[in-house]
Structure 1
Amino acid sequence: MDSFTVLNKAISEGHEVYALSFDYGQRHVKELKVAAQVCQALNVPHKIVDISAINQLIGGSSLTDDIDVPEGHYQEESMKSTIVPNRNMILLSLAVGYAVSLKASQVYYGAHSGDHAIYPDCRPEFVQKMSDVCKIANYDAVEIVSPYLNNTKIDILTDGLKMGLDYSHTWTCYNGREKACGKCGACQERLEAFRLNDVVDPLPYEA
């Protein structure tokens, strides 16, 4: 949902966009299929990169290992089990490498304020320092751009609805089943965003 909105925002701003998705062994692999469908519909070049071998090094998360995905809101301590160690630093580094190869000057990143409580690599200080490093890591500077860094999921949906986006073409649930569970932190936050925007979520839910 966040990346979908960021993608469309970048396109609406007139950028030439190249999309990246990563298979890092996540159980919600359905998001990769949805991303491919979205990019095909938008005629955006899209790569899905298999980096699942890194699970030999960064296990222990309920998103990648045989650990139950916790239920409840992101503010709850239990949600820390969904942290994949150093994930976003790794993914951003790979994206920056791709940007350099394309002679692109920016990498768009969908971090937002709702993630700040649980995920250190979604906080403003991380994004700023990562961007600073990426500007000097290569001969060509690359900036990390996070348009919704200080906005909530509610704000992201509000902006997306103003752009006329169809959120039936997105996937948020941490469980990779046919329908969204409606109970994990990702679903809870998504449903809250729709409720507070007075809009019905178009995705089918188990409960």
Structure 2
Amino acid sequence: MKTIVICSGGLDSISLAHRVAAEHQLIGLLSFDYGQRHRKELDFATACAKRLGVPHQIIDIRTIGRHLTGSALTDDVDVPDGHYAEETMKATVVPNRNAIMLAIAFGLAAAQKADAVAVAVHGGDHFIYPDCRPGFIDAFQEMQNQALDGYASVSLHAPYVNISKADIVADGAKYGTPFAETWSCYKGGTRHCGRCGTCVERREAFHLAGVADPTEYEDPDFWVAATSGYSAREVK
């Protein structure tokens, strides 16, 4: 199955890229510059493409992104600290981001005669991001079946959509993902901050998976208090 992986440069999408490279025919990585708070993660996506020996395309949609205002990922809004299951983390929502990116990805996949587009949405995203939920994935596939009817048949491959971040870490370890060569932190400093939602989720995932975390954090212990009262089951 000739597959294009949407790769942000984060732990999830790079783990997915390594999995697809092992199980299918990975024909390229696709990333998006939507004016996010920092572009550091895109460097990790580029490095992943080189490591796997496939082309890497970065699509510039900053003109669109600058109109999707109000998010801590695109505007001058503080990135909240804490667990992903907290209401404050909704400040990181970029409206319709996945729908926009997937629509472009499917167009490219059809043009390049690819069989599938793979995306690393996962169960831990469901609380905050509506365009990471199984209902969205199913509906998007149906929409694309209609949009490309008679021209191309492209499937949406989302193997992580019903599993936790810890499960992704375990899966990434299985396929030899170099976790130190992934970037999660929303703040984009020299090291992972250890305090933002994605850092807390990352640190917790390694702990729950029983896999050594090679990440250097500015605050490596903050996750303990931040995850108190939450469980992977509760935030799935």
TM-score of the two chains, using structure 1 as the length reference: 0.97
Residue 79 (structure 2) aligns with: 69
Aligned position for 2:188: 176
RMSD: 1.0
Equivalent position SS for 1:96: helix
Alignment-derived partner of residue 32 in structure 1: 42
Kept in 2, the 8 Å contact 1:132–1:143? The answer is no
What is residue 200 of structure 1 aligned with on the other side?
Answer: 212
**For the Cα contact (< 8 Å) 1:10–1:17, is it kept in 2?**
no
- 1:185 is aligned to 197
SS of structure 1 residue aligned to 2:27: coil
Q: Name whichever of 50-59 and 79-88 sits farther off.
A: 50-59
What whole-Å deviation, never above 9, does each CA across 1:149-206 have from its counterpart, x for those lacking one?
1000000001111222220110011111111100011001100011112333212111
Q: Does 1:8 align with 2:18?
A: yes
User: Where does structure 2 lack aligned partners over 5 or more consecutive residues?
Assistant: 1-10, 220-236
Structure 1 counterpart SS, 2:141? helix
Matched with 2:175 is 163
Partners of 2:70 and 2:215 in 1: CA distance: 29
What's 1:107 paired with?
117
Residue 226 of structure 2 corresponds to which residue in structure 1? none
Give unmatched runs, 5+ long, in structure 1: none
Aligned length, in residue pairs: 207
Counterparts of 1:163 and 1:16, CA distance in 2: 14
| d(CA) in 2 for partners of 1:206, 1:43 | 32
Give the Cα separation in 2 of the matches to 1:16 and 1:194.
Answer: 26
Q: Deviations over 1:2-38 (max 9, x none)?
A: 1011111111113232110001011131100111011
Work out the CA distance in 1 between the residues paired with 2:38 and 2:215. 15
Measured in 2, the distance between the counterparts of 1:56 and 1:82 equals 15
Match of 1:87 among 94, 97, 102: 97
What is the aligned partner in structure 1 of residue 51 from structure 2? 41
**Match of 1:118, as an amino acid?**
I
Following the alignment from structure 2 to structure 1, what is the Cα–Cα distance between the partners of residues 205 and 23?
24
Q: Are 2:47 and 1:52 equivalent residues in the alignment?
A: no
Question: % of aligned pairs identical?
Answer: 48
- CA–CA separation in structure 2 for the residues paired with 1:65 and 1:77: 19
Cα distance between partner residues in 2 of 1:194 and 1:165: 13
**Separation in structure 2 between the aligned mates of residue 8 and residue 16 of structure 1, nearest angstrom:** 9
Question: Which residue identity does 2:39 align to in structure 1?
Answer: V
- Which 4+ residue blocks in structure 1 deviate beyond 4 angstroms? none
